[in-house]
Structure 1
Amino acid sequence: MSVPRATVRLQLHAGFTLDHAREQIPYYASLGVSHLYLSPISCAVPGSLHGYDVIDPTRVNPELGGEPALRALSEALRARGMGILLDIVPNHMATHPGNAWWWDVLARGRQSRYAHWFDIDWRPADKTLYGKVLAPFLAQDYAGSLAGGELRLVHDGERDRYLIEASGGRFPVADGTLACRGRDCTEILAEHDPAEHRGRWRLHELLKRQHYRLCGWRCAADSINWRRFFEISGLAGLRIEEPEVFDAVHELPLKLYEQGLIDGLRIDHVDGLARPLAYCRRLREAMRARRPGGAGAGAEPWVVVEKILAGGEVLDERWQVDGTTGYDFMDQAAAVLHDAHGGARLIGLWQQVCGRSDTAADFLREARTTMLRRHFFAERNALVRRVHELIHMRARPGEWSQEAVDRVLEVFLACFPVYRSYVEGAEAADQDRAVIDRAAAQARARLDPDSGEHRLLDLVTAWLIAIPPGTQPARRPGAPLCDEAACRQEAVRRFEQLTPPLAAKSLEDTVFYRYGPLLSRNEVGSDPSVLAESVEAFHARNAWRAEHYPASLLATASHDHKRGEDARARLAVLSERVEEWERACREWAAWKTQECETPSQSAERYMLWQAMVGAWPLDLHPRDPEALAAFGRRIVQWQRKALREAKQNSSWFDPDLDYELRCAQYVHELLGWAPAQARRLAEAVDADERPDASDGHAPEAGLLCSFHDFVQDIAPAGAVNSLAQTVLRLTSPGVPDLYQGTEWWDFSLVDPDNRRAVDYPGRRRALDAAAANADMAALLAHWRDGRIKQAVIRAVLALRAQAEAVFARGACLPLETAGRRREHVIAYARRLGGQDVIVAVPRLCAQALAEQEGDGGPRIDMTYWDDTGIMVSALGGRDMKDIFTGKTHRPSANAELPAQRLFAELPCAVLVTT
């Protein structure tokens, strides 16, 4: 097949298998989707809910139905002219006993065939770890685990082998380290019984002889000698740059591609790889060589990468991929629907709440420094050692200490403006040079000019940019046994594999939970310091994508989003109605104020209120205690994650359970329960219980009615934003991606909330009930059920099927708007040859909806538009038909389409030439 027309992302697991996905094909075919975009299907840790914890990349996971189920799914899709986009994980594997490669490394150490497959430093700074793998998997420290009996020697009778059992996990006993020939199993186990002093000593001596060193999980940040995925010790980094590792990991997806079972690949966490650009080129060449029908047959392989782009950053021609997974578009489509003027006021309000005037950039530098010092200390130390060795080769011995290198690198890393650079040759490309220079300029302003650190910084950045010319200097005493170029390459690799997890954990998993002027801008792919963007900027990005990456994915929701697309669209309304939000916050802050509340706690409450406003279900009634309890449970689960990610009053490493319980109690009191019952409901979240929610519930208590009324007031404007965002995603240059279930309103929170089961029967019934030419006015009248959004998606995807070439290859031309409300319309034309599609959606119309009498829903009073119109002189004055309403629109004498007519029935319009 060619490039997909539209995809839907499905999260597979044992509860939703490949067979379950096959059952949904008729529904998605009717909706207009061309490809199922599947989460990883290779063997993962048993019970995995996401598939990224791979244990065997060479087989389709039996829990998902195995290869037979995949073939059945592909055949059913092919019968309808549909296909599959497959998510693959080349960066890491799970450190699970089921991972045969990892197990062999633990069992054989450096003699294992797979010893160089994983990114392990066999000669780390800690000499006691030479030739060993640190195994930070104990629930407590090693001594406590040994004394407490958590470490035991056990015998696997089925395979007749001895194992170490540790904190619920199992580890191999290396050949030759346990004298057991001709001896009784019971006797050997008794000799190593940790309940006895001599048994503990023997067990300890046995463990010393292994190729791994068990320790408490907290040791990982300081001492780990292998690359992890972010800071997750359950996921070990692969050296995919090694040819045999590449071949082994891609054996399955390449086979599936060659056999025509899949149509393209999505590369997870591409920035984690040592050489992403070379990897992408290599993968494309491998796919070309194994194209269905032969190397020269069919369309080009379709490959997209999961890549976070910073402001102003783009994928350049070196990548040789079809684009990203769409986080960049998710940011752009949201930013253009926010009001910049209101955003500035919200920042002022936030500064009052949290008691500090720091910018988002200040919060980010602070978070980066914290992560470097507490969470990536081992990775940072390994980088410092390599850079110091490199400097030692060129500079006079002792001129700069390792500590000085450490100080300079900390500041430089804290200022690094993007996820990573891509220095894969002897010299950095212009794009990477600019990034490195920008970070160096910021770092220089934070270093002491009198200490010589500026000169050291210059030396460090010069090595990142290029290998200095000249002959290879003689090796100095004590210098490592490697040449200068190899040492520089290793330093660059370590630097470039540290910045992506540092960026992600600092921004997405720290700042997003500490800095909260407006949570709709705290989203994957977004910069919280940029609260809004202009229509002109949106048009420019669309035009660039049309020219450079017309097959890139366009997403507005994903399995990784912090909150659902419609929750963000609703929160965007706050940027337009700041005064009402300020009044509400004053009321909520005055309720149950505690004398000891700190600024960070005030900030937590402020972000909690936003989370509740965004996630509040449209059908949630103040007199439905069961539904309120279910909502409170979701909020509390989000709140716990938010508190721990913020790392201020609680954390994953050191959770304050009492504080978290008090915060959870506050949520339930706010929703109308008396303190005692609120505490019981809060405790039930952890116990996974469902107490009687009606007991002690009073709708008039707490802030329940105030929250409910506020949400009902802004919800119609939020729905207008949602429909506008949906149409932008479906018509902009690129391949629109739908996240499972979001064809109805999506007010989800961060995972696992955004991965809840989808009500497919309800969605199928709604789609079947609405004909292809659905009555949009009737659906809009019942907008709260979400069927209007589904109908809009279906209508536009049907148009994409009819005018496929226009959307696949057509230009994207901004259309001029005129009149009093011209800044409140986004309009553009998709054009190819003589065929045109005009797209128009409203923006920043919340005030117009607020002034309407009664509950008019997401329908804007036509008098609001006054003389506003879209200029279409470039389209030749032809009649245009609206695909939603069926009405024909004829441009006026001055080639204008009035907004009053375009948005008379629906707050969005897509027109085609008749």
Structure 2
Amino acid sequence: MRTPVSTYRLQIRPSFTLQDAAELTGYLKDLGVDWVYVSPILTAEEGSDHGYDVTDPSTVDPSRGGPEGLEALSKAARKEGLGVLADIVPNHMGVASPGQNAWWWQLLKEGRSSKYAEAFDVDWDFGGGRIRIPVLGGDDDLDQLRIVDGELHFYDHRFPLADGTWTEGDSPQDVHNRQHYELVGWRRADAELNYRRFFAVNTLAGVRVEVPWVFDEAHQEIVRWFREELVDGLRIDHPDGLADPEGYLARLKEATGGAYLLVEKILEPGEKLPETFQCEGTTGYDALADVDRLFVDPAAEEFLDDLDARLRDEAEPANYQVMIHGTKRRIADGILRSEILRLSRLVQETSALPRLDVADALAEIICWFPVYRTYLPYGQEILEESIEHAAKHRPELAGVLEGLRPLLLDTTGELARRFQQTSGMVMAKGVEDTAFFRYTRLGTLTEVGADPTEFAVSPGEFHQRMARRQAELPLSMTTLSTHDTKRSEDARARISVISESVPEWELFLGTVQDLTPIPDGPLSALIWQAIAGAWPADRSRLQVYALKAAREAGNSTNWTDPNLEFERHLAAAVDSVFDVPEVGAALENFVAELEPYGTSNSLSAKLVQLTMPGVPDVYQGTEFRDGSLTDPDNRRPVDFQARIDALAELDGGARPARTNEAAKLLVVSRALRLRRDRPELFGGYQPVAATGAAAAHVVAFSRGADAPGAVTVATRLPKALERNGGWRDTAVDLPAKSRDELTGTTFDAGPVPLATLLEHYPVALLVPVD
């Protein structure tokens, strides 16, 4: 098995094709990258910028470069010595436009008799033998149906007609009533849908890859990539949605000849991948959380909690556990109600338990889950504990919960399997997409895969976690930014400085709230932190982010029934940054207060991530400072030419100031090159001791195993460091004579003053020399 030393993620789309990626391989090699990593490239919904709505798994998307584009990228990568990692989407397919998806079209045309009835996850009996398609505004919209060229049309939507179900002169409504599908109002999807989706996205229909022929047909093109040596590894999207993740990974490992596999699996603190999973690790959200918390000042927790309570106009700050129980119930009883009811129908098939109580009890168990899903029998204790918590919280359901226990633990039953598929949906929508926009004391903490109640991580705790990572998952990915992160690494690095600047943050927030109030205290904290983290940013980017954040939070407005008056106030607050001089000046002053320390955090976090145990990924463009917010903001085009030119200047001998954008490029390129060219320096993990008055402000480690290895030294809590008098007598004890890859300066073994070591940059990357 070929494995990567590092990866570089590129978002492939019609405006940046596989051919464009091929043109970048020379730059990626120069940067120090080992593998190029591409977003989904199978044919997707026309116009899709992300590619996760695959409509034809048998072809590489022509709009993304087609098979010739993949061949061009692979050839260019091989020429530069790079591997290729591809993102694939086994859990679902895009069905927004049935005419673009041959599988879905045939299913709608032929119904239960279709070959693809086994491929999609449909509860036919619940739909009266028909698939419910939630595209109408309301049932009155059936009057807008038309028969056009032998198809049923609803505005721009096209649907097939079953053979023999229509003749000239039939009304469109009568023809519709004879089909294997039923067009229904979109609001009915919450409780009445009868096909499995990706989360609550009606246009992404779940696929049953656990069926052998479905796996084969869905992976025929992917297997070809390995047979023809076009691709070296895969990133598997959302494995928690699969019926049998363990079996799927085993099958995929075999089909790809034992290739390198990563799963987009969110591990909660302390959670581990099942040992039976045949993959090399995760996509790195767990690593992101560990790195971020190194740069958060634990002393700020009490003060930010107090501010949070005041913003909520309550005596106490938000209780996160109570909050996520409520947000998960909101999801289970709302947009994912149809999934809960499907589980309850399965219970009714084998039990006389009351149907509504069963649905209530199932939702309650899921809402007590501390993880996305269990993989029975692995994780049985988690399920048992969640049932116990549900019984204590809802004693009136104790009998029903006890009746459900053996059914949910029965690994041979459909209920247990579907329950596991459903729990991750509720977790993702209730926590990531709701609570993370409500729990706002510090935006750094509410990132995908993190537990925001863990406020900070000490260097000692970080060292313990990295030693475990080296021992257990040395080939797992590490990351700081992805296409799914809610704030880029640099936005979070700046926001983390708020933990060292609580009085300044309170003053700034109070000023802007007085001048242009957002009538939702917790949301105001979220929005203004995001604006400060992203600044400078244009008006449209901030408006799109603010509206999405408010609707996801769902407290003052939401997606389905927006509060237009609240949204007017919100938009006015964002506009005030550009239109009200006092607000613009307050923001500029606050950002200026954060910026030097945010830059220090950015360089430090990046060097730690690139040199810690695991396979580091660089998300496209983030070798420069990038203040992106949640998607689609984090998928904007990248100016690669600027980065190519800046790297050439660095390689020509330029030494950027620590505040220069190229300083991050220096850190990224030198760390990636060293990992690729000197792998023997990265075989272990040992903390490097620091002594002196400011020892708490440094994190340092050696990657050596049996011999001296690369040493990383990074600054933490830089504002407090400066406030307390700088490094003073603080030193690190270098295990060998070393040269700093960033400055070229050589240092003898033994204690080295940090004031000297970190004279030019807040970080050092040291290599042993003779």
The Cα shift of 1:58 comes to 0.9
Given that residues 882 and 911 in structure 1 are in contact (C-alpha distance below 8 angstroms), is that contact kept between their aligned partners in structure 2?
Answer: yes
Partner of 1:442: 389
Given that residues 121 and 225 in structure 1 are in contact (C-alpha distance below 8 angstroms), is that contact kept between their aligned partners in structure 2?
Answer: yes
| Secondary structure in structure 2 of the residue aligned to 1:206 | helix
Partner deviation per Cα, 1:333-369 (whole Å, 9 max, x = no partner): 1011111221232122111101243311111111001
Partner of 2:226: 257
Partner of 2:6: 6
Distance verdict in 2 for CA 1:846–1:388, change over 3 Å = farther
| Secondary structure in structure 2 of the residue aligned to 1:69 | helix
Given that residues 615 and 747 in structure 1 are in contact (C-alpha distance below 8 angstroms), is that contact kept between their aligned partners in structure 2?
Answer: yes
Partners of 1:752 and 1:709 lie apart in 2 by: 28
Partners of 1:51 and 1:592 lie apart in 2 by: 39
Partner of 1:118: 120
Distance verdict in 2 for CA 1:588–1:57, change over 3 Å = same
Q: 1:884 aligns with which of 716, 737, 742?
A: 742
Letter matched to residue 503 of structure 1: M
The Cα shift of 1:438 comes to 2.9
Partner of 2:495: 571
Q: 1:811 aligns with which of 684, 696, 709?
A: 684
Partners of 1:434 and 1:275 lie apart in 2 by: 19
Is it true that 1:241 corresponds to 2:238 in the alignment?
no
Partner of 2:535: 616
Aligned residues: 765
Partner of 1:163: 151
Q: 1:799 aligns with which of 654, 659, 674?
A: 674
Is it true that 1:724 corresponds to 2:616 in the alignment?
no
Letter matched to residue 306 of structure 2: G
Is it true that 1:73 corresponds to 2:73 in the alignment?
yes
| Secondary structure in structure 2 of the residue aligned to 1:47 | coil
Is it true that 1:642 corresponds to 2:549 in the alignment?
yes
The Cα shift of 1:797 comes to 1.3
The Cα shift of 1:871 comes to 3.3
The Cα shift of 1:414 comes to 1.2
What are the residue-to-residue correspondences of 1:663-678 with 2, within 5 Å?
A: 663-673=570-580
Partners of 1:757 and 1:407 lie apart in 2 by: 45
Is it true that 1:900 corresponds to 2:762 in the alignment?
no
Partners of 1:461 and 1:744 lie apart in 2 by: 52
Partner deviation per Cα, 1:164-205 (whole Å, 9 max, x = no partner): 0013210001001113xxxxxxxx2xx35xxxxxxxxx3222
Partner deviation per Cα, 1:232-289 (whole Å, 9 max, x = no partner): 111100001000011111111111012111010000011110111111111112222x
Partners of 2:274 and 2:608 lie apart in 1 by: 24
Could you tell me which runs of 5 or more consecutive residues in structure 1 were left unpaired when the two chains were aligned: 156-161, 180-187, 193-201, 289-299, 468-484, 618-629, 674-700, 852-862
| Secondary structure in structure 2 of the residue aligned to 1:70 | helix
Given that residues 137 and 217 in structure 1 are in contact (C-alpha distance below 8 angstroms), is that contact kept between their aligned partners in structure 2?
Answer: yes
What are the residue-to-residue correspondences of 1:847-862 with 2, within 5 Å?
A: 847-849=720-722
| Secondary structure in structure 2 of the residue aligned to 1:643 | helix
Partner deviation per Cα, 1:517-567 (whole Å, 9 max, x = no partner): 011111111122222122222212211111121111111000011111100
Letter matched to residue 333 of structure 2: R
Is it true that 1:341 corresponds to 2:299 in the alignment?
yes
The Cα shift of 1:765 comes to 0.9
Letter matched to residue 260 of structure 2: W
Q: 1:145 aligns with which of 141, 147, 165?
A: 141
Is it true that 1:585 corresponds to 2:509 in the alignment?
yes
| Secondary structure in structure 2 of the residue aligned to 1:831 | coil
Letter matched to residue 360 of structure 1: Y
Partner of 1:183: none
Is it true that 1:539 corresponds to 2:463 in the alignment?
yes
Could you tell me which runs of 5 or more consecutive residues in structure 2 were left unpaired when the two chains were aligned: none
Q: Highest CA radius of gyration, 1 or 2?
A: 1
Is it true that 1:742 corresponds to 2:622 in the alignment?
yes
Partners of 2:331 and 2:676 lie apart in 1 by: 47
| Secondary structure in structure 2 of the residue aligned to 1:26 | helix
The Cα shift of 1:706 comes to 1.1
Partners of 1:666 and 1:584 lie apart in 2 by: 14
RMSD of Structure 2 on Structure 1 (CA) = 1.7
Distance verdict in 2 for CA 1:462–1:5, change over 3 Å = same
Given that residues 122 and 133 in structure 1 are in contact (C-alpha distance below 8 angstroms), is that contact kept between their aligned partners in structure 2?
Answer: yes
Partners of 2:307 and 2:443 lie apart in 1 by: 13
Between 1:368-377 and 1:353-362, the stretch displaced more is: 353-362
Partners of 1:587 and 1:656 lie apart in 2 by: 25
Partners of 1:907 and 1:271 lie apart in 2 by: 40
Q: 1:457 aligns with which of 394, 401, 419?
A: 401
Partners of 2:452 and 2:256 lie apart in 1 by: 38
The Cα shift of 1:314 comes to 1.3
Partner deviation per Cα, 1:403-446 (whole Å, 9 max, x = no partner): 222232222111111000111xxxx23xx122113323322321
Letter matched to residue 415 of structure 1: W
Is it true that 1:604 corresponds to 2:523 in the alignment?
yes
Partner of 1:768: 648
Partners of 2:521 and 2:630 lie apart in 1 by: 22
Partners of 1:362 and 1:230 lie apart in 2 by: 22
Is it true that 1:913 corresponds to 2:768 in the alignment?
yes
Between 1:112-121 and 1:406-415, the stretch displaced more is: 406-415
Is it true that 1:559 corresponds to 2:559 in the alignment?
no
Partners of 1:111 and 1:141 lie apart in 2 by: 29
Partners of 1:82 and 1:535 lie apart in 2 by: 34
Partners of 2:471 and 2:759 lie apart in 1 by: 34
Partners of 1:274 and 1:246 lie apart in 2 by: 12
Given that residues 516 and 573 in structure 2 are in contact (C-alpha distance below 8 angstroms), is that contact kept between their aligned partners in structure 1?
Answer: no
Is it true that 1:703 corresponds to 2:583 in the alignment?
yes
| Secondary structure in structure 2 of the residue aligned to 1:52 | coil
Partner of 2:166: 178
| Secondary structure in structure 2 of the residue aligned to 1:671 | helix
Letter matched to residue 153 of structure 1: I
The Cα shift of 1:658 comes to 4.3
Partner deviation per Cα, 1:300-348 (whole Å, 9 max, x = no partner): 5100000111111111311121011111111111011111221232122
Distance verdict in 2 for CA 1:54–1:670, change over 3 Å = same
Given that residues 221 and 377 in structure 1 are in contact (C-alpha distance below 8 angstroms), is that contact kept between their aligned partners in structure 2?
Answer: yes
The Cα shift of 1:580 comes to 1.8
The Cα shift of 1:465 comes to 3.1
Q: 2:733 aligns with which of 871, 876, 884?
A: 871
Partner of 1:378: 338
Partner of 2:94: 94
* Percent identical: 37
Partner of 2:110: 108
Distance verdict in 2 for CA 1:167–1:369, change over 3 Å = farther
Letter matched to residue 885 of structure 1: T
Partner deviation per Cα, 1:888-911 (whole Å, 9 max, x = no partner): 1113xxx42322222122110111
Partners of 2:579 and 2:177 lie apart in 1 by: 58
Partner of 1:315: 273
Given that residues 93 and 236 in structure 1 are in contact (C-alpha distance below 8 angstroms), is that contact kept between their aligned partners in structure 2?
Answer: yes
The Cα shift of 1:218 comes to 1.2
Q: 2:129 aligns with which of 131, 142, 146?
A: 131
Partners of 2:191 and 2:360 lie apart in 1 by: 17
- TM-score of the superposed pair, with normalisation by structure 2: 0.97
Partner of 2:365: 412
Partners of 1:365 and 1:868 lie apart in 2 by: 45
| Secondary structure in structure 1 of the residue aligned to 2:86 | strand
Partner of 2:714: 841
Partner deviation per Cα, 1:726-761 (whole Å, 9 max, x = no partner): 101110111110101111001011111111110111
Partners of 2:152 and 2:542 lie apart in 1 by: 40
Partner of 2:64: 64
Partner of 1:40: 40
Given that residues 488 and 629 in structure 2 are in contact (C-alpha distance below 8 angstroms), is that contact kept between their aligned partners in structure 1?
Answer: yes
| Secondary structure in structure 2 of the residue aligned to 1:836 | coil
Distance verdict in 2 for CA 1:120–1:805, change over 3 Å = farther
